[in-house]
Amino acid sequence: MLASSATLSAQSAEAVFQKFDRDGDGRVTSEELPSKPAFQRYDADKDGAITLAEYKAVTGNTAGESPLRRTGKKNGASGEMPSVQPEDIRKITNGPEILKPGELGIGRMITDVTFTDLTGKSHRLSDGRKGTVILMTSATCPVSKRYAPGVVELQKELGKEGLMLLLVNPLASEKPEEIKAQLAAAGITATYVHDKEKLLTGALQARTTTEVFLLDGRRTLVYRGAFDDQYGINYNLDAPKHRYLHEAIAAFLKGEAPAVPATAAPGCELDLPEKSAGQITTAVTYHRDVARILQQNCVGCHRDGGVGPFPLDDIDEVQDRAKTIRRVVTEGTMPPWFAAPEKDAAKNPWANDCSLSARDKADLLSWIDSKDRPLGDPAEAPLKRTYPAEWSIGKPDLIVQLSKAHDIKATGFMPYANDIVETELTEDRWVQAYEILPSERDVVHHVIVRVHAKGEVVRKADEGSEGYWAIYVPGNGAKTYPEGFARKIPAGAKVSFQIHYTPSGVAKKERLKMGLIFAKHPPSFEVRTAPLANVRLAIPPGAPRHLETHSQRVPFDMPVTGFMPHMHTRGAGFRYEVAYPDGRNEVLLDIPRYDFNWQLHYALKQPKLIPKGSTLKITAAFDNSAGNKANPDPTKLVRWGSQTVDEMMIGYVEYFRPLKP
């Protein structure tokens, strides 16, 4: 029968498993293991086959990432895995919601409104030549009043940086006397606007009495949302966990975009008229509108030194590629985002949705389709952004580089490259942030990184049995976890890289590296990734829409933070669903049009608690027809395999688990 835990002291779990997996399909059946008691012991989900992950879970040989099929009964020497309750999720995520930047006008120019302050002095919004911070406020809103001490500190900081600070009160019912008394009591001396006609408020399309706005010297909206997460309608914290405005200002002063450009702003809601200064329709121009849309959504990759094949930060470059831009925007290929849109945009669950907003898409296409493509006033062009020369996460504490430079041929097909690196760590470390940097960006399609405990046998083709530790796709190779969350890299660990190289027309040598930043304090939660994998694929020749499914029971309360589906060139669609113990069913992620060129991670704004006893199901659609231009061979019966000419069906699930004190 399959070896016991004691036997594993002499041989690896992989070696024992392979001994019984006679046909090498990654699953041990009852015919391959005829002992009924042993088979029942290892077949944890009772689906009639044992996977390596199930075998490791029972024997305790689980050196890699924790697979979904683990029973979750042990964490260390003994004891139950700490559970996560809905109230725990609420505590973790309490605070303003992260919002989609494009839907809130991030990156667009704000109208140059004229206004009068509380003393009767006239101003223009363009007076803030280096930049302007605008705080909506009120003398009566309880949440707004709590931020008065923070405003005092902010006006000192902004004064040192040469930024203008405006306080805007849009409530006509509030009396100048009570406003002045409040300012005097708090020690606030910043310019204060009692915006009774709501001209400035309308130009900003402000939503609450606590919303803040950061504009650069060209009135481009850089950040809007909460001051921080300390106060809300129904909560008060001793100190903020996220200082959104301060973090945005710090990034702006370095010429960079903020990590979080838009959030909700808990406060007293504002009721604006339907027509306002911010809604006046004007002809779309390149300098005022199009350049900003491209800068906000495209230039991060499409710039000199970026991963895009050509830059888009100059009018000549944009004119030359206008029809290409039109095609990829219309078909939804760019910016790359493939989750099905929500019926209600306000309920968008995704934190990293990079698709164009309806307004940005309409303005961009209308300009491209216009007869003369008006340039507009060059004085309204956005300021140039700067980008990190190397590490966007900051200087790493540890750099793990490939063991050698890999030869990339000029043309043709290349099988996946695999590289294993010893870390020589002498103690366990917790990683707060990572970044993967190719040395030749144009030949690296994607990278999957796994971490292996000391002494673990590393197999090249281990997809489906373990989750990833880190991932890279063009334009998305860095990850910073929230305070209190981290991934573990154990002492003496090995790091394996699976790299998909794509020749670019010129022979090159490539040697990527991964930078790690260690957590300053032990985390409260460990971030993990589990795979749902169907390794028994059988895709018929010529099938234009072949469906495969796979289901797995959730053995413990699982707070899910994101998903990453993985297929190869025949992949056409992918869906995650959950069946709850109470009989309810829910679609977690629907990708009606899968694109192999973009191995995207879909990050949730709020963790989704999947309770123990639920069943996660993945469904994949494959196009093995001649109509699929990327299909290597439509006459082939396609089965599971690690190379691009084969197929895979993996639904990675990222989650976290509480760590014992």
Q: What is the pLDDT of residues 484-517, one digit of tens each?
A: 999 999 999 999 999 999 999 999 999 999 999 9
Structure token digits, residue 316? 């000549």
With b for 16 or more beta-carbon neighbours within 10 A and e for fewer, the 409-444 pattern comes to eeeeebebbebebebeeeeebbbbbbbbbbbbbbbb
Q: What is the DSSP letter of 342?
A: P
Give the confidence band of 652 by pLDDT, cuts at 50, 70, 90.
very high
| The pLDDT value given to residue 461 | 53
Cα gap 567→641, rounded to integer Å: 10
Q: What are phi and psi of 366, to 5 degrees?
A: -65, -35
The answer to whether residue 187 scores a pLDDT higher than 90 is yes
Check residues 375 and 32 and name the one with the higher pLDDT.
375
Crossing angle of helices 176-186 and 148-161, rounded to 10°: 70
- Taking only the tens place, the pLDDT of each residue in 586-626 is 999 999 999 998 889 999 999 999 999 999 999 999 999 99
Strand-pair partners of 214: 133, 223
- Taking only the tens place, the pLDDT of each residue in 395-404 is 999 999 999 9
Is residue 144 classed as helix, strand or coil in its secondary structure? helix
Give the confidence band of 46 by pLDDT, cuts at 50, 70, 90.
confident
Give the confidence band of 657 by pLDDT, cuts at 50, 70, 90.
very high
The mean per-residue pLDDT over the stretch 375-400 comes to 93
Give the confidence band of 365 by pLDDT, cuts at 50, 70, 90.
very high
| The pLDDT value given to residue 274 | 59
| The pLDDT value given to residue 65 | 40
Q: What is the DSSP letter of 66?
A: P
Most distant CA atoms of the chain, gap in Å: 90
The mean per-residue pLDDT over the stretch 546-573 comes to 96
Contact status, residue 177 vs residue 112, Cβ threshold 8 Å = no
The answer to whether residue 3 scores a pLDDT higher than 50 is no
Cα gap 616→580, rounded to integer Å: 9
**142 half-sphere exposure, CB direction, 13 A CA radius:** 6
Strand-pair partners of 589: 576
Contact status, residue 379 vs residue 470, Cβ threshold 8 Å = no
CA distances from 247 to 262, 320, 323 (A): 12, 37, 37
Structure token digits, residue 22? 């006679």
The answer to whether residue 128 scores a pLDDT higher than 70 is yes
- Taking only the tens place, the pLDDT of each residue in 441-462 is 889 999 999 999 988 878 655 5
Cα gap 176→318, rounded to integer Å: 50
| The pLDDT value given to residue 465 | 75
The answer to whether residue 57 scores a pLDDT higher than 70 is no
Burial class (CB in 10 A: 0-12, 13-18, 19+), 126: middle
Structure token digits, residue 486? 């981290």
Is residue 128 classed as helix, strand or coil in its secondary structure? coil
| The pLDDT value given to residue 63 | 37
Structure token digits, residue 520? 């300053």
| The pLDDT value given to residue 425 | 94
Cα gap 649→136, rounded to integer Å: 49
Q: Please provide the size of the chain in residues.
A: 661
The mean per-residue pLDDT over the stretch 566-583 comes to 96
| The pLDDT value given to residue 1 | 37
Check residues 94 and 141 and name the one with the higher pLDDT.
141
Cα gap 508→456, rounded to integer Å: 33
| The pLDDT value given to residue 76 | 34
Q: What are phi and psi of 398, to 5 degrees?
A: -145, 135
- Taking only the tens place, the pLDDT of each residue in 189-246 is 999 999 999 999 999 999 999 999 999 999 999 999 999 999 988 888 889 989 999 9
Cα gap 556→78, rounded to integer Å: 16
- Taking the complete model, does pTM exceed 0.75, yes or no? yes
Mean of the per-residue pLDDT values of the chain: 88
Q: Which domains does the chain have, with CATH numbers?
A: 7-59 (1.10.238.10), 112-279 (3.40.30.10), 286-380 (no CATH), 398-523 (2.60.120.230), 528-658 (2.60.120.230)
Give the confidence band of 177 by pLDDT, cuts at 50, 70, 90.
very high
Give the confidence band of 280 by pLDDT, cuts at 50, 70, 90.
very low
Q: What are phi and psi of 143, to 5 degrees?
A: -70, -40
Cα gap 219→431, rounded to integer Å: 38
Contact status, residue 640 vs residue 610, Cβ threshold 8 Å = no
**647 half-sphere exposure, CB direction, 13 A CA radius:** 29
The answer to whether residue 473 scores a pLDDT higher than 90 is no
| The pLDDT value given to residue 49 | 86
- Taking only the tens place, the pLDDT of each residue in 286-332 is 999 999 999 999 999 999 888 888 999 999 999 999 999 999 999 99
| The pLDDT value given to residue 2 | 40
| The pLDDT value given to residue 16 | 67
Let me know the angle formed at the C-alpha of 166 by 165 and 172, rounded to the nearest 5 degrees.
165
The answer to whether residue 475 scores a pLDDT higher than 80 is no
